[in-house]
Structure 1
Amino acid sequence: MSIARRTLVAAAAALAFAAPLAAQAQAQAQDIKPRLIRFGYGLNENSNQGRAAKLFAEQVQKASGNKMKVRAIGAAALGPDTQMQQALIGGAQEMMVGSTATLVGITKEMALWDTPFLFNNAKEADAVLDGPVGQKVMDKLQEKGLVGLVYWENGFRNLTNSKRPIAKAEDLDGIKLRVMQNNVYLESFKLLGANAVPLPFSELFSALETHTVDGQENPYNTILSSKFYEVQKYVSVTNHVYSPWIVLASKKWWDGLSKDEQKVLLEAARASREFERKDTREEGAKALADLKAKGMQVNEVPVAEVAKMRGKLAQVNEGIAANVGSDLWKETQGALSTLRKQ
C-alpha cells in the first residue's frame, strides 16, 4: 500500500472514531440543564415587583450564558412572605423578594425600617439603605440562614380617610384608622390621636366600605390598585413611613454556589434595584394623578405639622432604638444628619 493510500485510510479511521465522540459530547452538552432558581414574590406579574423580577431573571440568564435560569413566581403562589422566608431558611426555596417588616421576628434589626418619619425623601432612603447602615442590617440575616442582596422600594405610606383632610396633627383625633398588625404602627397612631384598629389587608376594603374604619395608610400605588378611591375621599400626604422590600437568598443554597455564580446574582440584583425604584416612583406619581382624577382630594401636610407628629412619637423611636441597639440607631441618625447637611 502506498504512503498516500495509508494516510487516507488512517484519516478515515480517525474520522470514524471521532464522529461518535463528537456526537456523545453534543448529547452530553444538551443534557446539561441550567441551574434553576425559584424566585418568589407576593404581587402579580404586571406589578412593579413582577416587572423587576422579570428583569432580574433576564439579567441572570444573559450574564450566566444560560447556565442559570430564574423562574419568577408571583401572586404569592409560593406562600406569603413569612412562609417563603422559612422555605429559604430551610433550603427548600432559593430566592424571594418581600417586606422587611415581616423579617422583624427573625432579625430584630429590621425594625429600624419601621421607624416613623425616619426618611424625609427617597434620596435619603437610597443613601442609607445602600450604604453601610443598610448593609449592616442585611448582614445580620446571615446568622438566621438568609442572605440579603439588595433593597427594592415599596414606597412612602400616606393617609386616606372618609372624614376630613389631615392638615395638622390634631386632625387625626378620633379617626378610626386601620393599621397593619404591627406594634410599632399601633402605638404610633394611638400616640398621634387616632383610634388605631389592626386589620388584615384582605379585610380592609370591606371595613372602609361599611365604615367599620374611617381610613387607612398605604403607598399611592396600593391605594389606586385596591380601588380605595371608591370608599375614601381624602388623601393626606404625610410620608410617615418608608417601606422597603428586600431581595433574599437561602444561605444554605447560596453557600453552595461558586463565586462567579454569586457575582452574577448580585450584579443582576443591583440592576433590578435601579430599575425597580425608578419604575415604582414613576408608577407612584402616576397613581397620585389618577387618584386626583378619580375625585380624591389631596393635601400635603405642612413640614411644621410633620415635625409635630414626629415629636409626639419620641417614645416609639426610643423603643425602636432599644430594640435594634443604640450603636445602630446612632449610626443611622449620624448618616441622616450628614446627608441633611449636604
Structure 2
Amino acid sequence: MFKKKPLAVALSSVLVLALALVGCGTKTASTSEEKEVKPIIIKFSHVVTPDTPKGKAALKFKELAEQKTNGRVKVEVYPSSQLYGDKEELEACQSGNVQIIAPSVTKLVGLNPKFQYTDLPFLFPNNEAVYKFFASDAMKGLMNSLDKYNLQGLAVWPNGFKQFTNNKRPLITPDDFKGLKFRTQAGKVLEAQFKALGAGSATIPFGETYAALQQGTVDGQENTFNNIDTQKYQEIQKYLTVSNHGRIDYMIIVNKSFWSGLEPDIRKALDESMAEATKFAVEQADILDQKSKENLKNGGKLQFTELTPDQLAAFQKAMQPVYDEFESVISKELIDAAIKAGQN
C-alpha cells in the first residue's frame, strides 16, 4: 500500500497540471477572441436634431455600417451639438476626437473660399439642378480639396432652399429689408447679400440662433423650411417669405488619417453604406422640407408671403453685385458648372 502512494501522488499531480494548462489555454484563446471582435468605434457628430434630413441620414448610415461590417464597426451618432458645436467640430475632426462630421457647406469657406458657391443667391433654380451639381467633377474637386487639413469629403447631403423669416414686417421687396438685422452663418458672401439688401447681419452659431431671435439680438434669419420647423422659430418669428434664394447643404467629412488607415474591406463596406445613406438623405430632404412647409403654413403662427416671378426678379437684380464681387474668389468655372447643372 505504501509503495503505491508515490505513484498515485505523481499521477494526481500530472492530472492537476494538465487541467491547469488546459485552463490557461482556454483563457488565452478567449482573450484573443475578445480582441478580434472588439469593434471599431466611429463617432459621428452633428448639430441638428435627429428628426431632420441630416439627423435621419446619420442614423441610416449607422444602421447600414454596422450591418455591412457584421458588427466590426460601431457608429455612435451625437446630434444637436451634444459633442461639438459649429465652431468646434472641424477642429475636432481634424484632430481625430470625432471621425465623421456633417457641417453646412458654408462652414468650409475658411478652408477653401470656393465653398462659398452655396451662398450665392439664386444660383440654382430647383433641387434637380442642385443634385446634378453634387455629382459633377466640380464638386468632386471641392470634396478632395481638404487634404492639407487631414480631412476628406465623402458625400454631400441636401437640406433644401433657404427662406427668410423675421418678426418686424412682411418682406416683399428688397426695400423691406432696410434697417433689419439677420442671423447668418459665417461667410463674406452672406454678409454681402444682406448688405445688398440694405440689412445688417451677425454671425451666430446654429445652436444659439433661437435665443438670439428671442432676445432681439437679431430681427430675423434665413433657413430651410425643415430647420425653421424643427428649431421652432415660428414661436418667435412672425413673417416668412418663400424666396428659395440660397442653399443649406451638408458636406460629410471624415478624418483622413483614420479613413485611410481602415482595412480595405471595412472601408469598402463603409463607402457602400455612405452611398446608400446619401440616397436616403436626398429622399428625406425632399419629403421633410415639403412636410415642414405645410406644418409652418398651416400652423397659424407665421404669415406666409410667396413671391411672384416679378418680385423674385427684383431680388435677383438687387443681389447681382454679390456675383460681381465674388466671381473671382469662387471662380467663374465653378459658377458656370453650377449654372450649367440648372440648364440641362
Partner of 2:306: 300
How far apart are 1:44 and its partner, in Å? Answer: 3.4
Q: Which moved more, 1:301-310 or 1:170-179?
A: 170-179
Partner of 1:28: 32
Cα pair 1:161 1:214 within 8 Å, conserved:
yes
Q: 1:43 to 1:232 in 2, by over 3 A?
A: closer
What amino acid sits opposite 2:137 in the alignment? Answer: P
**How many Å separate the matches in 2 of 1:333 and 1:101?**
19
Q: Which moved more, 1:247-256 or 1:44-53?
A: 44-53
2:336 to 330, 333, 337: 333
Matched, 1:163 2:200: no
2:253 to 238, 248, 251: 248
* Residue aligned with 1:239, SS: coil
Q: Which moved more, 1:35-44 or 1:314-323?
A: 314-323
Higher-Rg structure is 2
Q: Which moved more, 1:199-208 or 1:226-235?
A: 199-208
**How many Å separate the matches in 1 of 2:74 and 2:26?**
27
- Between Structure 1 and Structure 2, how many residues are aligned? 323
Q: What do the CA deviations read for 1:123-150 (whole angstroms, capped 9, x no partner)?
A: 1111101221211110101232101000
**How many Å separate the matches in 2 of 1:80 and 1:195?**
24
Cα pair 2:241 2:305 within 8 Å, conserved:
yes
User: TM-score when scaled to structure 2?
Assistant: 0.83
How far apart are 1:183 and its partner, in Å? Answer: 2.4
1:60 to 62, 65, 69: 65
1:270 to 275, 282, 287: 275
- Structure 2 alignment gaps of length 5 or more: 1-18
How far apart are 1:27 and its partner, in Å? Answer: 5.4
- Structure 1 alignment gaps of length 5 or more: 1-15
* Residue aligned with 1:148, SS: strand
Q: 1:339 to 1:18 in 2, by over 3 A?
A: farther
Matched, 1:323 2:326: no
What amino acid sits opposite 1:233 in the alignment? Answer: K
Cα pair 2:164 2:240 within 8 Å, conserved:
yes
1:110 to 115, 138, 145: 115
* Residue aligned with 1:167, SS: coil
RMSD: 2.8
* Residue aligned with 2:84, SS: coil
**How many Å separate the matches in 2 of 1:204 and 1:164?**
19
1:131-142 → structure 2 map (5 Å cutoff): 131-142=136-147
**How many Å separate the matches in 2 of 1:53 and 1:279?**
12
What amino acid sits opposite 1:337 in the alignment? Answer: K
User: TM-score when scaled to structure 1?
Assistant: 0.84
How far apart are 1:171 and its partner, in Å? Answer: 3.0
